[in-house]
């Protein structure tokens, strides 16, 4: 998906310090979602938990948008014209509905519930996403993964994977990236990552052994779930830092609850995000934007998209670079 924010700001993202706590019962940081301003009259509202000021990365996960369940007859569904990406991978994961994907690597694919589609847009890619006519309800997440500096010029690639359900003892997981409960996704990533859809049985508590070198986040899709002792409301993201070997998740309701478990080793590199681009500096972002606006071959062409506009124009750049998110110099004239 495209970042629907009509006036995106440039954000510097870096691994933040983990919350202090006992590794057996760690402190949980709650990242509440914010609704992003709509990019058009029919665009769906999305709830964004990453990036935010307090925390911008979990492992290499740098962008978490959660949307729906959305009545397509009211909102018109999803119709995102061709738009570019650099320096990242997009992970599309649906709970309900169907989206038709076309990209400049010549891929034409359907995104369906429980099927992961990971698109690599290292050097440059563009794609369109349109919910199909058969879709009445649209409900899912759009996730981005930052590529490490060594691989951020990676060629275009598209990986599709349908995980089998895994019994978690009180719930079920679908491991689309990484390893959990002995189940490993074959999908290749450039840094160690974890991505799992988990449905927790009514009233059940799950204990999950995880890689203690990872930091982790729990995004609540439905229900109310306690991560250790911290209750997370719907659409909130609970974060725990590295050094934690086991997560406990309790469904506090009498219906099944659904969450996404995201994790990864701390990314360590500072990145600059603006609109649909990930780079390392403001000047790079400006160059990516110019390339897109000028129709550069960097991003290729999408074939077969039918819509009101042939491609999404980039928003205007902010006039000045924003300052680093932490420890800003107090007398910086650019701020």
**Number of residues lying near Mn ion (CB under 5 A):** 1
Interacting residues with Mn ion between 297 and 326 (CB under 5 A): none
The distance of closest approach from Cβ of residue 40 to Mn ion in the complex, given in angstroms and rounded to an integer, is 15
Interacting residues with Mn ion between 1 and 30 (CB under 5 A): 1
Q: Provide φ and ψ at 290, rounded to 5°.
A: -60, -40
User: Which CB, 1 or 147, lies closer to Mn ion?
Assistant: 1
- Exposed e or buried b for every residue in 281-293, given b needs 16+ CB within 10 A? ebebbbbbbebbe
The distance of closest approach from Cβ of residue 229 to Mn ion in the complex, given in angstroms and rounded to an integer, is 37
User: Which CB, 3 or 222, lies closer to Mn ion?
Assistant: 3
User: Which CB, 1 or 57, lies closer to Mn ion?
Assistant: 1
User: Which CB, 1 or 187, lies closer to Mn ion?
Assistant: 1
CA distance 212 to 192: 12
The distance of closest approach from Cβ of residue 88 to Mn ion in the complex, given in angstroms and rounded to an integer, is 9
User: Which CB, 1 or 154, lies closer to Mn ion?
Assistant: 1
User: Which CB, 28 or 145, lies closer to Mn ion?
Assistant: 145
The distance of closest approach from Cβ of residue 70 to Mn ion in the complex, given in angstroms and rounded to an integer, is 17
Report the candidate in 23, 50, 127, 39 with the shortest Cα–Cα distance to residue 84: 127
The distance of closest approach from Cβ of residue 295 to Mn ion in the complex, given in angstroms and rounded to an integer, is 18
The distance of closest approach from Cβ of residue 228 to Mn ion in the complex, given in angstroms and rounded to an integer, is 34
User: Which CB, 1 or 193, lies closer to Mn ion?
Assistant: 1
* Token pair recorded at residue 151: 């691989």
The distance of closest approach from Cβ of residue 241 to Mn ion in the complex, given in angstroms and rounded to an integer, is 29
The distance of closest approach from Cβ of residue 240 to Mn ion in the complex, given in angstroms and rounded to an integer, is 29
The HSE-up count of residue 292 (CA atoms within 13 Å, CB side) is 26
User: Which CB, 19 or 37, lies closer to Mn ion?
Assistant: 37
The distance of closest approach from Cβ of residue 276 to Mn ion in the complex, given in angstroms and rounded to an integer, is 6
User: Which CB, 1 or 210, lies closer to Mn ion?
Assistant: 1
**For binding to Mn ion (CB under 5 A), which residues are involved?**
1
């Amino acid at each position: 998906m495209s970042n629907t924010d009509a006036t995106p700001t440039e954000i510097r993202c870096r691994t933040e310090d983990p919350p202090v706590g006992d590794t057996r019962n760690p402190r949980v940081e709650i990242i509440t979602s914010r609704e992003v301003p709509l990019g058009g009259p029919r665009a769906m509202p999305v709830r964004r938990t990453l990036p935010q000021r307090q925390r911008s990365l979990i492992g290499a996960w740098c962008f978490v948008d959660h949307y729906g369940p959305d009545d397509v007859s009211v909102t018109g569904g999803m119709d995102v014209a061709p738009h570019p990406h650099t320096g990242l991978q997009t992970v599309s994961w649906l709970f309900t509905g169907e989206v038709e994907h076309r990209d400049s690597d010549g891929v034409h694919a359907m995104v369906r519930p429980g099927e992961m589609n990971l698109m690599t847009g290292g050097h440059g890619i563009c794609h369109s996403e349109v919910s199909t006519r058969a879709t009445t309800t649209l409900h899912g997440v759009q996730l981005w993964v930052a590529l490490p500096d060594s691989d951020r010029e990676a060629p275009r690639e598209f990986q599709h994977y349908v995980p089998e359900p895994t019994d978690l003892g009180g719930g079920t997981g679908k491991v689309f990236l990484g390893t959990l409960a002995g189940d490993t996704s074959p999908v290749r990533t450039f840094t160690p990552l974890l991505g799992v859809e988990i449905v927790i049985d009514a009233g059940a508590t799950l204990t999950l052994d995880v890689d203690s070198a990872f930091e982790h986040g729990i995004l609540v899709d439905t229900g109310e779930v306690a991560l250790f002792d911290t209750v997370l409301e719907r659409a909130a993201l609970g974060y725990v830092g590295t050094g934690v070997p086991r997560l406990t998740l309790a469904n506090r309701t009498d219906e099944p609850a659904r969450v996404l478990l995201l994790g990864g080793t701390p990314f360590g590199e500072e990145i600059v995000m603006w609109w649909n681009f990930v780079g390392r500096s403001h000047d790079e972002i400006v160059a990516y934007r110019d390339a897109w606006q000028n129709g550069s071959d960097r991003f290729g062409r999408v074939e077969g998209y039918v819509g009101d506009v042939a491609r999404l124009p980039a928003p205007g750049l902010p006039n000045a670079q924003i300052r680093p998110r932490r420890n800003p110099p107090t007398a910086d004239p650019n701020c």
